[in-house]
Structure 1
Amino acid sequence: MKIHEIRELIKLIDQTTINEFEFENNGAIVKIKKGGQTTVVTQAAAPVVQHEVMPVVSAPVATLEKPAEAVAQEVVKEDTSNLHKITSPMVGTFYASPSPDSKEYVAVGDRIKSDSIVCIVEAMKLFNEIEAEIDGEIVEVLAKNGQLVEYGQPLFLVKS
């Protein structure tokens, strides 16, 4: 953290009714206390441990069927054009289960009906149950529990 950033923090805290403030970033800790004295304490980040890198042994270029650049650019992707995407109808937080202790609504391989609830998207403290709107099988869950999702963002891939 740079000194001008610390000064800005002090100014911001001074303008509020906050009496004590603590901030940690990459191992550096900044503590600010109001009441006549301001104390700034920082700790250096842990030292970086470097490891010896072993050289990579490669086959002669003549033995490759394709140039190395072509092989590196070749990525095998599964064809998802025939899969239905269940998308988020709103901006909010994705939840895979009705509560933290409960089982997820759906998982990969589950068969679903069009009226099956697949997740919850919370927006402005309202928990909206999202229905599949298609019969099929869950192929992939694209969102993680607690993740912020955007309007129209794919949440699930379904094979109908």
Structure 2
Amino acid sequence: MLKIQEIREIIKLVDSSSVDEFVFEHDDTKLKLKKNSGTTVVSTTQAAPVAVAPVVEAPKAPEAPKAEVVKAPEAPKAVKEEVVADANLHKITSPMVGTFYASPNPESPAFVKAGDKVGEESIVCIVEAMKLFNEIEAEVTGEIVEVLVENGELVEYGQPLFLVKEA
């Protein structure tokens, strides 16, 4: 059974992402989150006849202009994906949905920047998901050509993070 704090963390992640609906099933627990005009609805049920949790509505967040939220992030992605196709560069992508961090802590320099050489096991960034900090390795040998995301930015599964010119 999920703890209330875990459910709240999932709500925050879904709310700040472009995902409209999220379903999680594990053993006898089912969690379904669906964005509905600024409101996130959470419902959990158990298959066993012990108890059924009521529907909980998350507090309404102040609505941002939809044009800015939807269109602003998409334009840079399309341009950057075209660069990848034209230059035949390797993309290092995010293995999960989470928050991108370029350095191990705010006082430290970034793991890598444009022009840095990396090896297959070089750590290039951290993606934080549900309070777990996951170190992301380059998995190729080469030179970082471009960093595609900003520090602290929410990233999606499969989203390109870096462009690498393979050696």
* TM-score where L is the length of structure 1: 0.51
Alignment of 1:127 with 2:159, yes or no, is no
| Aligned counterparts, 1:35-54, within 5 A | none
Q: C-alpha deviations, 1:37-82, integer Å up to 9, x for none?
A: xxxxxxxxxxxxxxxxxxxxxxxxxxxxxxxxxxxxxx9x985331
Equivalent in the alignment of 2:122: 116
Equivalent in the alignment of 2:41: none
Secondary structure of 1:80's counterpart equals helix
Unpaired runs of 5+ in structure 1?
1-22, 26-74
State which of 89, 92, 115 in structure 2 corresponds to 1:86: 92
Q: C-alpha deviations, 1:106-133, integer Å up to 9, x for none?
A: 0000000000000000000000000000
Alpha-carbon separation, structure 1, partners of 2:94 and 2:83: 22
Alpha-carbon separation, structure 2, partners of 1:111 and 1:153: 22
Q: C-alpha deviations, 1:1-56, integer Å up to 9, x for none?
A: xxxxxxxxxxxxxxxxxxxxxx9x9xxxxxxxxxxxxxxxxxxxxxxxxxxxxxxx
Greater helix share, structure number: 2
RMSD: 2.2
Secondary structure of 1:101's counterpart equals coil
Alpha-carbon separation, structure 1, partners of 2:160 and 2:119: 18
Equivalent in the alignment of 2:160: 154
Kindly provide the amino acid, as one letter, of the partner of residue 94 in structure 1: F
| Aligned counterparts, 1:1-160, within 5 A | 79-81=83-85, 82-160=88-166
Greater gyration radius: 1
Kindly provide the amino acid, as one letter, of the partner of residue 158 in structure 1: V
Secondary structure of 2:120's counterpart equals coil
Alpha-carbon separation, structure 2, partners of 1:80 and 1:122: 25
* TM-score where L is the length of structure 2: 0.49
Alpha-carbon separation, structure 1, partners of 2:127 and 2:134: 5
Give yes or no for contact 2:148–2:161 (8 Å, CA) kept in 1.
yes
Identity of aligned residues (%): 72
Aligned length: 87
Unpaired runs of 5+ in structure 2?
1-61, 65-78
